[in-house]
Amino acid sequence: MKTLVLGGVRSGKSRYAEQVAGQDGASVVMVVTATAGDEEMAARIAVHRARRPPQWQVVEEPVELGRAISRATAPGTVVIVDCLTLWLSNLLVLGDGNVFAGERDALKSAVSEASGTLVLVSNEVGSGIVPSNELARRFRDEAGFLHQELAHLFEQVVWMVAGLSVVVKGAGRAAGERE
């Protein structure tokens, strides 16, 4: 099963993905894309680390996400990617259009070919105001395009709102259902 989990900041996306991963007792690989560029981000990363079970394998990959997914997916394994929008930010600040295009293609290929359970987490950023600078507008647009492309590759798309899950595509837990 491939699940794309979308929602706003602090909507419960990561917790939902972690609950999905912990359901069957399968081995879990957590692919994280964040880098601790400042103290606030380091604190956010620490909270996520503390919440993860110690037996989960963690792969830190800020750029080559497709390759990390390809290496981690296998039958009987749950792979969580948290999160696509941080990965997208990492790509955009590189400023290399060829790397950007290649990594997006590699991600889509890895998702298409993945075996086992794959759960990708991403922030939905297109529901707010139009950003005032060019890079922020490009980020918002690229995130929207990426979500549209990926949604077609996934069996399930879940929208998180205030800690409640709303299944947009496929079958799954009802909104508000908790473990």
DSSP assignment, residue 177?
Answer: -
Whole-angstrom Cα distance, residue 161 to residue 159?
7
DSSP assignment, residue 43?
Answer: H
Active site residue ranges: 48
Are 61 and 33 spatial neighbours (Cβ–Cβ below 8 Å)? yes
Q: Which residue has 């989990």 as its token pair? A: 5
Are 153 and 167 spatial neighbours (Cβ–Cβ below 8 Å)? no
| Amino acid at residue number 86 | L
Query: Minimal CA–CA distance to 65: which of 14, 41, 99, 39?
Result: 99
Whole-angstrom Cα distance, residue 89 to residue 103?
12
